[in-house]
Amino acid sequence: MGFCGGTILSEYFILSAAHCMNQTRSFYVIVGEFDRDAKEGTESVHNVDEVFTHRYYVPETYHNDIALIKLRTPIRFTPFIVPACLPLREFAEDVLMRQEEGMVSGFGRVREGGRQATLLQRLSVPYVDRAVCIESSQFKITQRMFCAGYDMESKDACQGDSGGPHVTQFGETWFVTGVVSWGEGCAREGKYGVYTQVSKYVGWIRYVMTKFL
């Protein structure tokens, strides 16, 4: 049973959420999965070598809710297993996050309180204006978070999607722009999904991936 998602950044590194790292002592990573109930032959399983949780992560507020997982063995890329591109900070903030929407994916619950998805789900989610985002929640939306999703439609990330990718397409390329972090329920009216803004951590990500390779 999976408990969180992640984004492949390279053959050795997976991007995820810090709050996912507190949920279990030992875990492994499966890539290339589409149907959890079937053995499709596209999957590969990897043991974890080391976990890097952001040193300033605050569990109570989800501030700096970001982590990197280093795998013990490298991922072999295939048509079913590909990394997302890590954008430059300026490009992410000036171009990618000014697109209309990004995409989120995962095996999380199909509805609030419902069962976990068997098939990998994906959903286009519009970027939400920062002022609207802040107004929608009594909880603090920091400068390192952003909102995406729908005001009235019942579509959202949900429990089990945490740590998974928010990616934005530019041309033919998908760039990682967010990490699924938190929300108030799932797809509630007037509420949005809250994501860790990857552009604020590009320096940290590159540092960890270079120093600990």
Do the Cβ atoms of 110 and 37 come closer than 8 Å?
no
Contacts of 196 (CB under 8 A, 6+ apart): 17, 62, 64, 65, 66, 144, 145, 178, 179, 181
- Give the whole-angstrom CA distance, residue 36 versus residue 108: 12
- Give the whole-angstrom CA distance, residue 153 versus residue 203: 36
Q: Which of 19, 46, 63, 166 is catalytic?
A: 19
Write down the residue that tokens 């286009």 correspond to.
124
- Give the whole-angstrom CA distance, residue 132 versus residue 174: 26
Q: Which of 46, 63, 65, 156 is catalytic?
A: 65
DSSP secondary structure of 123-180: EEEEB--HHHHHHT-SS---TTEEEES-SSSS----TT-TT-EEEEEETTEEEEEEEE
Q: Which of 16, 105, 162, 199 is catalytic?
A: 162
* Length reported for the chain: 213
- Give the whole-angstrom CA distance, residue 45 versus residue 43: 7
User: Does 19 qualify as catalytic in the annotation?
Assistant: yes
**Angle at CA of residue 203, ends 137 and 72, nearest 5°:** 100
Which residues carry out catalysis? 19, 65, 162
